Every structure is written in C-alpha cells, then in structure tokens.
Amino acid sequence: MNHKILDKLVELSFNSLEGHAAHTDKCHTSYVVCKGSILAVGHNKPRKTHPRAAAYEYPTIHSELDAVLRLPRGTELSKCTLVNFRLSISS
C-alpha cells in the first residue's frame, strides 16, 4: 500500500472522530482497500449485532466486520487489504 492512500485513510479516520464523540471516546474505523481504491468503510456498532458477529463470539458488530459486510458481492478478498484505525478523542 502506498503512502498516498495511507495518508488519505488517516485523514478520513480523524474526520470521522467528530461523529463518534457522543457515543464513546474511541473510534474504530476499518477500510477495505484494493489496488489503491477504498472499496468499503466500516465502524464499530456497539448497539447492533449480526449473525456473523455471533459466529466469532462477539456480541456486537466490530468495524472490521462492518467493512467486510459492506463490500460489493463477489469481491475477491485475497486481493484486498484491511486497514484498521483505533483513535481516541481524549488523546
């Protein structure tokens, strides 16, 4: 992954902090990237669940699963990269 796309992901993650301030002091954001394009973005959903989350013994939807669930059908995951950011509003 090149620095240009990584810089873009960092910028997007910091920009998403404002929308999460009311829920928690931490923001988890995951991106699925393929060939320099962002295919999907996911966020933690502490008040929602999904059968796939339960299969991994998680009670709620984590950002990684949310991003994968948002991928277009037929996406070849072996050619993609999952990037996860955990940012804290307080520091």
- Nearest-angstrom CA–CA distance, 66 and 28: 11
C-alpha of 29 from chain center: 4
- Nearest-angstrom CA–CA distance, 66 and 44: 7
Q: Is 36 left (phi over 0), alpha (psi -120 to 50) or beta?
A: left
- pTM for the model: 0.83
CB 62 within 8 A of CB 44: yes
- pLDDT for 22 equals 53
- Nearest-angstrom CA–CA distance, 2 and 65: 24
pLDDT, tens digit (0-9, with 9 covering 90-100), for 25-62: 678 899 999 999 999 999 988 778 788 777 777 788 88
